[in-house]
A and B are shown apart, each in its own frame.
Chain A
């Protein structure tokens, strides 16, 4: 049962335009969401996160939007640059021990973003 879904395996966007990557989840207990970026032959690197108490979080060119009622989040990259070409993973976490947090993330299957110069 895939609790975190990224339904688009790939996406191509012109350089300078907006890239929008989507992610859906089914577990209503998830309260923290993250995006990771992965280049070939490297480990995933953390990009941006959002808590369920917010509906938007922005960091430079990257903005994550959360729609709790639709159980949907999206990552916007504006403007897109060639270095943004990578695989992007969405991940989610449910609350755990109130003192220690939750130790586990559930990952989606990833979307390969290609920026066309």
Chain B
């Protein structure tokens, strides 16, 4: 299983763009990269998923370089409600045991 490394915590201010980078040096050819968001005492919620290059949806963008050894979740113009823990997951086909790790705790300040 590919192991992921993320910063433990990040701070930002309302209106700023936030970029959270995840390292996954051992990513396999058929692995996808998925990001989840979790608010306190709630289950994680899917944000975005990608395989290579760039993916964008109404919530975030995901940038994946050509070597796929890292990925960056970009949150445009964050608000206080974006304060949460963000998890980067890399999964393999077949038996799927995702490793959530400790995630990145993002705190958005007024």
Pair from one complex: no
- Interfacial residues, chain A to chain B (CB-CB below 8 A): none
- Footprint of A on B, CB under 8 Å? none
